[in-house]
């Protein structure tokens, strides 16, 4: 059997002594997409932050084991984590506009992301950045007329973030509500882009969202978080069509009810 790429065991997080994640355990294999769902405040983003070593140590207490490619991230120093972020672990967060520097050329931001993690000269990094941006749909023509992030739309900024996250060929991509600020068309384009890269590279992904329709299109497996506890994990079809836990049943029922409602409205 394949050793999982990521293995989380007994992850507990509290903020100022208040427990928000309790004994969460799951693993992710190469090429797998794990969707993490749950209502607002369930602890989904806390998992993403713990995984990337981005929890504020002044606020959060973390225990457990997060093993990535055999290395325990909770025992790793900041320098190690920094090297992993953006090289082996890519991240995309909800707010693409806020994640980019408005006053810096978009292309330079991708070049910098590459140069932090790869020992290549600036010209080589620039070439690579252009390729990554073009693959994400940000072509030289787009950048000729809108070279700064503040000149790009939200959807385009998120494409740039995808290019940054994938610039160094990570093994794991963590996407936390990556499309929730986008309209449905842009959402579909970003999902298509991520899936394409995944098919090409065997990248594993954790896709966090409260949008069950979206998760059903992208995830192989789903983990359900309820008040900091992982209450159910299984293959996508099983969790969404034959949920076992009462909480998952209520989430799925609410989603199906909403979908039926919108179909009724659409056909009215």
Ligand X SMILES: Nc1ncnc2c1ncn2[C@@H]1O[C@H](COP(=O)(O)OP(=O)(O)OP(=O)(O)O)[C@@H](O)[C@H]1O
Nearer to Mg ion, 38 or 152 (CB): 38
Residues from 36 through 55 that contact Mg ion (CB under 5 A)? 44-45
Per the CB < 8 A criterion, the answer to whether 34 and 221 are in contact is yes
DSSP 3: P
The span from the CA of 66 to the CA of 78, in Å, is 15
Instruction: Using CB under 6 A, pick the residue from 9, 12, 19, 20 that binds ligand X.
Output: 20
Minimum Å gap between C-beta 1 and ligand X is 31
Q: Between 138 and 208, whose beta carbon lies closer to ligand X?
A: 208
DSSP letter at 36 equals: E
CB of 195 within 8 A of CB of 31?
A: no
Contact 120, 147 (CB under 8 A): no
Residue 143 or 207 with smaller CB distance to Mg ion? 207
In this complex, which beta carbon is closest to ligand X, that of residue 42 or of residue 190?
A: 42
- Rule CB under 6 A: choose which of 59, 79, 103, 266 binds ligand X: 59
Pair of tokens at residue 159: 């494409």
Does residue 43 touch ligand X according to CB under 6 A? yes
User: Residues binding Mg ion: what is the number (CB under 5 A)?
Assistant: 2
> Can residue 209 be called a binding residue for Mg ion (CB under 5 A)?
no
Which helix (DSSP H) or strand (DSSP E) does residue 41 occupy? none
Q: Which does 33 bind (CB under 5 to 8 A by kind): ligand X, Mg ion, none?
A: none
- As a whole number of angstroms, the distance between CA 38 and CA 252 comes to 10
- At closest approach, how far in Å is the CB of 123 from ligand X? 40
Q: Quick one: CA dihedral 22, 25, 30, 35, positive or negative?
A: negative
Residue 51, SS3? Answer: helix
Residue with tokens 């992904």: 205
Under rule CB under 6 A, residue 53 binds ligand X: no
Q: 20 vs 81, which CB is nearer to ligand X? A: 20
226 binds ligand X (CB under 6 A): no
- Contact between 245 and ligand X per CB under 6 A: no
Query: Which residue in 46, 52, 87, 109 binds ligand X (CB under 6 A)?
Result: 46
Interface of this chain with ligand X, residues 183 to 212, rule: CB under 6 A: 210
CB of 45 to ligand X, least distance (A): 3
- Asked if residue 42 binds ligand X (CB under 6 A), the reply is yes
Structure tokens at 163: 């290019």
Return all residues near 223 (Cβ < 8 A) that are at least 6 apart. 26, 34, 35, 36, 37, 230, 232, 233
Kindly list the residues in this chain that would bind Mg ion in the complex (CB under 5 A).
44-45
């Amino acid at each position: 059997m394949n050793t999982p790429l990521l293995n989380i065991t007994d992850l507990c997080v509290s903020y100022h002594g208040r427990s928000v994640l309790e004994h969460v355990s799951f693993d992710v294999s190469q090429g797998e997409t794990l969707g993490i769902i749950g209502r607002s405040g369930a602890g989904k983003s806390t998992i993403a932050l713990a995984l990337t070593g981005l929890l504020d140590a002044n606020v959060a207490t973390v225990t457990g084991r997060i093993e990535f490619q055999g290395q325990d991230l909770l025992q790793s120093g900041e320098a190690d984590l920094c090297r992993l972020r953006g090289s082996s672990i890519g991240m995309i967060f909800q707010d693409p506009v806020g994640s980019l520097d408005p006053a810096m050329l978009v292309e330079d931001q991708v070049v910098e992301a590459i140069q932090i993690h790869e020992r290549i000269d600036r010209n080589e990094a620039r070439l690579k950045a252009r390729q990554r941006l073009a693959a994400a749909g940000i072509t030289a023509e787009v950048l000729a007329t809108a070279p700064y992030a503040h000149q790009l739309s939200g959807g385009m900024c998120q494409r740039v973030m995808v290019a940054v996250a994938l610039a160094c060929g990570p093994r794991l991509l963590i996407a936390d509500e990556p499309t929730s600020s986008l309209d449905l068309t842009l959402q579909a384009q970003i999902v298509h882009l991520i899936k394409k890269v995944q098919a090409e590279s065997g990248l594993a992904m954790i896709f966090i969202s409260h949008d069950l329709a979206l998760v059903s299109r992208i995830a192989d497996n789903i983990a359900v978080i309820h008040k900091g506890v992982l209450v159910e994990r299984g293959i996508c079809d099983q969790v969404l069509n034959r949920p076992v836990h009462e909480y998952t049943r209520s989430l799925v029922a609410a989603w199906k009810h909403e979908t039926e409602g919108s179909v009724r409205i659409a056909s009215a």
